[in-house]
A and B are shown apart, each in its own frame.
Chain A
């Protein structure tokens, strides 16, 4: 069975070098993404028919874009207690489900593209946004905000709970950038950055961060512990449009810029000196990739907490099918990261209704075994 799979894999990798095959592959992923998004929006504690979801979404888009279109849904139907009705379903779809699903997609895409870029730029298949300190740094920032009890609301004389959360997000984002910059700075020696020491320093920083978070959990009261668990295990609960609007430009930056560096990332696999000989400014490339990864992952963690494994596994998963060319791996990992995260969040919020499982647990639960299988298969494939 395994040998058959490997022959099959060799075939897919050969064909995936053809441009039409690549485009078709991306289109298929895009279709899966649309399908799973619609499914995720229709599924939940309240089940909403998929055609209703579709019509409500189209109506909402038409309204935003000032298009003269009407799906014919009757929004004025009276809501009876205990029954589903268009009006309530529409509100649920528009204000709760879509922002959550889109945020999950954005965060999944961010983590996956950051992981791909880091693995390429650092020439290390173990590189992961978590390993360079972005995730744990963000968690340390958020936990610090929780422990100190800081809240922008106090300054603004408002006690909206969203402001407490926003404060934690800002702390998380700031700390993610500071930590990544610190790791990068420590790894820099005589104007050069050594990938191995970068990862080892990241590991050391991560250890310190988890000690800090552990200690914080130990000395906190129950309510604070709940908040801390949210940050360390990740969740897409309580995500609204305003959060999505903040994340879009950051994710968009990586998604737009990184594919332009795809060929240079390919050259990096030859080695840093060899890439330089072929005209790549390796140091600059690495700085751009690390900076983009830190910003994108930092903002993702600031809203969704630490979600492990996606950044590590998705690039491996894509390469397993398409081969290592970053020109296909980068866009494919954006779509696959989004698909997997939406699926993971769907599972996390529906498996134990009415409670939710932290999504970070789901990604680790599935990501771990998948990673193991990939490693074993690719080892056999090499003979």
Chain B
């Protein structure tokens, strides 16, 4: 099976606000692509475009060579799973029932023993099997996220789209989540994850796309993208990039100067964009 998601010149705006501007990227089976960027940069919008929740005003997303909207919802659900930022359930379903919902695209009639086995395995892998009988609504934020992750894993798709899967998790479970993604990638799954933690992205992602005001500013390997200059240009934060003591990956350490960690980026959007445009040429050889 070829697992290939291909976004071509995506453009999305609401009224006069452009949220995504001419973004093109490809994800292949077996790799993790992390999407990073400051708040409001358009990461979630990009993920929604990739998921087919939103339709771009121009450009298109191809799933294994066919435009997304050519796939029926159920057919699409067998090929890609989406983990939302926050998942609420409006009625009192238990954690187990919520995870079992992930099997829906595969169930004809009623669920089989195999479906239950897959769900239990997923709950076990995300370390929430002991919460199976609890009402989902009564779980903590991190527990909800892990049950939702189990639901997404139970869907057993070749493409995983995750919107900040680690934002509510403790340190251990953040790494657990990313390790699960690595395992899945090893079996040929294509993973796209919006991440806030640059170090998490550096450790686990094969490639990183850095978004800045709706544009794909940089894309490439962690070493190529996570440079002090790039991070300062996009996040407005002075950092030092070290090398991880045990992993072959960059380690980002924010720098504090005069008690202030963050230095505001250049005033005025045009100035900021200019800096960005310059650096795009020098430090992002993959682009274009």
Contact = CB atoms under 8 A, between A and B. Distances in A.
Interface of A: 13-14, 17, 123-125, 263, 266-267, 269-271, 273-274, 276-281, 319, 323-325, 378, 382-383
Contact of B84 (A125, A273, A279, A280): A273
B179 interface: no
A382 B74 contact: no
A323 B48 CA distance: 32
Interface in B71-104: 73-78, 80-82, 84, 87-94, 97-98, 101-102, 104
Given A278-B105, A281-B73, A324 B138 contact: no
Nearest to A264: B104
B123 interface: no
A319 B135 CA distance: 14
A40 to B, nearest CB: 33
B25 interface: no
Contact of A271 (B88, B102, B133): B88
B128 interface: no
Given A279-B104, A382-B137, A269 B77 contact: no
Contacts of A269: 89-91, 93
Q: What DSSP secondary structure best describes chain B's contact surface?
A: mixed
Chain B CB within 10 Å — which of A17, A273, A278 has the most? A278
Please give me the 9 A-B residue pairs with the lowest Cβ-Cβ distance, nearest first.
Answer: A279-B77, A324-B91, A279-B74, A277-B82, A279-B105, A269-B90, A269-B91, A278-B104, A279-B73
12 contacts: A266-B97, A266-B101, A271-B84, A273-B48, A273-B82, A276-B52, A276-B73, A277-B53, A277-B77, A278-B101, A279-B77, A325-B97
A270 B87 contact: yes
A13 B97 CA distance: 12
Interface of B: 48, 51-53, 73-78, 80-82, 84, 87-94, 97-98, 101-102, 104-105, 107, 133, 135, 137-138, 155
Contact of A278 (B137, B138, B155): B155
Given A269-B91, A323-B92, A279 B138 contact: no
Contacts of A382: 135, 137-138
Contact of B73 (A17, A280, A324): A280
A335 to B, nearest CB: 20
A271 B151 CA distance: 14
Contacts of A279: 73-78, 104-105
A123 B93 CA distance: 14
Given A267-B104, A281-B73, A324-B92, A274 B138 contact: no
Contacts of A278: 77, 101-102, 104-105, 155
A17 B102 CA distance: 18
Contacts of B84: 271, 273-274
Nearest to A14: B133
Contacts of A17: 97
A383 B93 contact: no
A139 B45 CA distance: 45
Nearest to A266: B101
Contacts of A277: 51, 53, 77, 80-82
Contacts of B91: 125, 269, 319, 324
B216 to A, nearest CB: 23
Contacts of B101: 266-267, 270, 278
A29 to B, nearest CB: 21
Contact of A123 (B74, B90, B94, B105): B90
B173 to A, nearest CB: 21
A263 B104 contact: yes
A175 to B, nearest CB: 31
A269 B92 CA distance: 9
A339 B82 CA distance: 42
A277 B50 CA distance: 12
Contacts of A281: 73
Contacts of B97: 17, 266, 325
A123 B90 CA distance: 7
A325 B91 CA distance: 9
Nearest to A120: B91
Contacts of B133: 14
B159 to A, nearest CB: 11
Nearest to A323: B92
A277 B135 CA distance: 22
Q: Which of A14, A124, A273 has the most CB of B within 10 A?
A: A273
Nearest to B80: A277
Contacts of A274: 82, 84, 87
A25 B135 CA distance: 22
Given A266-B101, A325-B97, A382-B137, A271 B74 contact: no
A267 B93 CA distance: 10
A282 to B, nearest CB: 9
Given A14-B133, A123-B90, A280-B73, A273 B104 contact: no
A281 B73 CA distance: 6
Contact of A319 (B52, B76, B80, B92): B92
Contacts of B104: 263, 267, 278-280
Contact of A270 (B89, B105, B137, B138): B89
Contacts of B88: 271
B15 to A, nearest CB: 12
